[in-house]
C-alpha cells in the first residue's frame, strides 16, 4: 500500500472545469510557471500543468489553495514524492544540476 505524504488537516484535491480553470488544494510550493507550463509541489507529489495562456489567479500558502486559468492540455504527476520526499531547500536549479 502506498504511503500518503499529506498532513491530516490538508487534503489534496484537483478540480478542472471545462479545461479553462483548475483549482487545487494541498499545494506546498510553486516550483516554476510561465504561460505554457506550471510546476507545483503538492501533498501528493509534483504536478505539472500544461496549456496555453496560463494565468495564476490565486495562491494561498497558508491553506495550500491555488487556482489558475487558461486552456489546459494536460495535468501530469511525476514520480517522486514532492518537496517532502526530496527534502527541503531543493529548488529548480538544484534539480537541474543533479
Distance CA 59, CA 68 (A): 9
Give the closest residue to 31 by CA, choosing from 82, 73, 79: 82
pLDDT tens, residue by residue, 24-56: 999 999 999 999 999 999 999 999 999 999 999
- Grid cell in block for residue 97: 544540476
CB 35 within 8 A of CB 51: no
The answer on pLDDT for 90 being more than 70 is no
The length of the chain is 98
Mean pLDDT of 81-94: 50
CATH number of 13-96: 2.60.40.2000
Residue 30 in grid coordinates: 510553486
pLDDT at 72 over 60: yes
* Alpha carbons 45 and 4: distance in angstroms, whole number: 10
Q: Are 48 and 72 in contact (CB under 8 A)?
A: no
Specify the pLDDT at position 84.
Answer: 43
Sketch the domain layout of the chain as residue ranges. Answer: 13-96
Amino acid at each position: 500500500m502506498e504511503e500518503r505524504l499529506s498532513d491530516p488537516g490538508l487534503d489534496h484535491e484537483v478540480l478542472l472545469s471545462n479545461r479553462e480553470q483548475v483549482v487545487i488544494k494541498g499545494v506546498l510550493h510553486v516550483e516554476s510557471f510561465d504561460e505554457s507550463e506550471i510546476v507545483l509541489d503538492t501533498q501528493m507529489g509534483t504536478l505539472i500543468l500544461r496549456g496555453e495562456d496560463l494565468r495564476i489567479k490565486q495562491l494561498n500558502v497558508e491553506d495550500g489553495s491555488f487556482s489558475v486559468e487558461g486552456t489546459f492540455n494536460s495535468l501530469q504527476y511525476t514520480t517522486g514524492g514532492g518537496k517532502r520526499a526530496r527534502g527541503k531547500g531543493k529548488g529548480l536549479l538544484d534539480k537541474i544540476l543533479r
